[in-house]
């Protein structure tokens, strides 16, 4: 700015003050979730409280209490919290971040949790009925308030996982231990029970070669990556037809081809689309049937599920299908670590 005489005019005191008190631009939001980013955001969120409240909140959320006078949030709230989460791994940090965010509504935590891959499904897993290898189970709702159901017919043909499920999801090792009755297993027994469980689940696909092929390809990862990766659960009954429907289904999808219960409450549905998904009994394109299928997919996604579909044509060339499935499975498992 120049003065009427041609020189530079002095800045006003208001301009100088505005420049002095203008905050620096905020750093860009993270584009990838990392343990460090979560630790920083957890510490930043709790550091907004007064020091005494910081110590109490740490204990309330399961972190260690103050050790001595030198370990004091009055000497640095941010450092105090970071000391307590420095050894937390990513799955535990995600669980902790969710709990803190529910109470303190932090924009930083909300953004980071949105990068987990999915927001997860609210509530605990209940009614995990799967791998029926006979007639469809008949299920009734005994207590609508508590979501208590009962299998009234054909229970002997299906499996029901009845153990609590934590934030780590359901691994093949945990499913094998459940299959073995819940006892600790030595390596030899664990492998024997794992093989036994594999063939029981394989039988539930009733000769569907495409489903059995996908199942085999995923389960081959247990040999290379160990039993602590997620279990692939076949033939899962997500919805059921109560007797009050008088034999008429109120829901299009009563069963999922496959389900994975991943850390952080992520639930991944895998579906194999044969001709019955988009054509009528005469093999003609059925737009109404296809519309019903994609509408149910939308409902699942809004409920927090991730849905991935494979077309039957992708499995015609089994060598190429193996490449497709391996690339997909590796990418999916990378998102869950």
Going by C-alpha positions, the residue among 204, 218, 198 that lies closest to residue 256 is 204
Average pLDDT for 125-137: 82
Q: What value does the mean pLDDT take over residues 231-251?
A: 61
What is the per-residue pLDDT for 281? Answer: 67
Confidence (pLDDT) at 63:
93
Specify the pLDDT at position 286: 67
Which comes out higher in pLDDT, residue 322 or 184? 322
Determine the pLDDT at residue 238.
Answer: 63
Q: What is the pLDDT of residue 89?
A: 84
Structure confidence at residue 275 as a pLDDT band (50, 70, 90) = low
Cα–Cα distance between 9 and 327 in angstroms, integer?
65
Distance CA 103, CA 18 (A): 35
- Return the minimum-mean-pLDDT range out of 35-49, 159-173, 225-239: 159-173
**272 pLDDT above the threshold of 50:** yes
The CA-CA-CA angle for residues 282, 294, 281, to 5°, reads: 10
Report whether pLDDT(19) > 80: no
pLDDT value for 174? 93
Q: What is residue 143's predicted lDDT score, i.e. its pLDDT? A: 61
Q: Is the pLDDT of residue 124 over 60?
A: no
Highest mean pLDDT among 147-156, 170-179, 255-264, 267-276: 170-179
Average pLDDT of 52-74?
89
pLDDT value at 247 more than 50: no
* pLDDT at residue 239 in the model: 52
Parse the chain into domains and list their residue ranges.
Answer: 28-113, 128-335
How high is the mean pLDDT of the chain? 80
Who has greater pLDDT, 109 or 119?
109
pTM for the model? 0.60
Distance CA 195, CA 174 (A): 14
146-171 average pLDDT score: 81
Confidence of residue 78 (pLDDT cuts 50, 70, 90): very high
Q: Mean pLDDT check: name the lowest of 86-95, 193-202, 224-233.
A: 86-95
Instruction: Report pLDDT for 283.
Output: 62
55 pLDDT more than 70: yes
What does each C-alpha distance from 112 to 63, 95, 109, 146 come to in angstroms? 20, 12, 5, 32
């Amino acid at each position: 700015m120049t003065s009427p005489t041609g020189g530079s005019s002095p800045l006003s005191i208001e301009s100088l003050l505005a420049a002095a008190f203008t905050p620096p631009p905020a750093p860009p939001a993270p584009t990838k979730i990392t343990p460090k980013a979560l630790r920083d955001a957890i510490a930043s969120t709790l550091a907004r409280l007064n020091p005494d409240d910081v110590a109490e909140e740490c204990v309330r959320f399961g972190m260690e209490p103050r050790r001595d006078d030198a370990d004091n949030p009055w000497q640095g709230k941010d450092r105090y919290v970071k000391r307590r989460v420095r050894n937390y791994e990513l799955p535990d940090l995600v669980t902790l971040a969710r709990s803190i965010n529910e109470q303190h509504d932090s924009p930083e935590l909300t953004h980071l949790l949105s990068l987990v891959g999915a927001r997860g499904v609210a509530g605990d897993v209940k009614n995990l009925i799967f791998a029926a290898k006979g007639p469809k189970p008949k299920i009734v709702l005994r207590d609508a308030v508590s979501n208590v159901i009962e299998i009234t017919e054909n229970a002997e043909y299906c499996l029901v996982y009845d153990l609590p499920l934590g934030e780590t999801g359901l691994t093949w090792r945990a499913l094998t231990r459940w299959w073995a009755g819940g006892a600790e297993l030595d390596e030899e027994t664990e492998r024997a029970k794992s093989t036994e469980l594999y063939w029981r689940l394989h039988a539930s696909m009733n000769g569907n070669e495409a489903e059995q092929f996908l199942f085999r390809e995923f389960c081959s990862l247990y040999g290379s990556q160990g039993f602590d990766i997620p279990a692939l659960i076949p033939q899962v009954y997500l919805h059921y037809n109560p007797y009050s429907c008088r034999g008429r289904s109120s829901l299009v999808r009563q069963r999922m081809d496959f389900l994975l219960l991943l850390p952080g409450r992520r639930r991944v549905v895998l579906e194999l689309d044969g001709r019955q998904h988009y054509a009528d009994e005469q093999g003609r394109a059925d737009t109404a049937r296809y519309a019903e299928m994609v509408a149910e997919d939308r409902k699942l996604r809004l409920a927090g599920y991730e849905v991935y579909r494979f077309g039957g044509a992708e499995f015609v060339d089994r060598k190429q299908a193996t490449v497709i499935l391996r690339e997909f499975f590796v990418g999916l498992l990378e998102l869950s670590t």
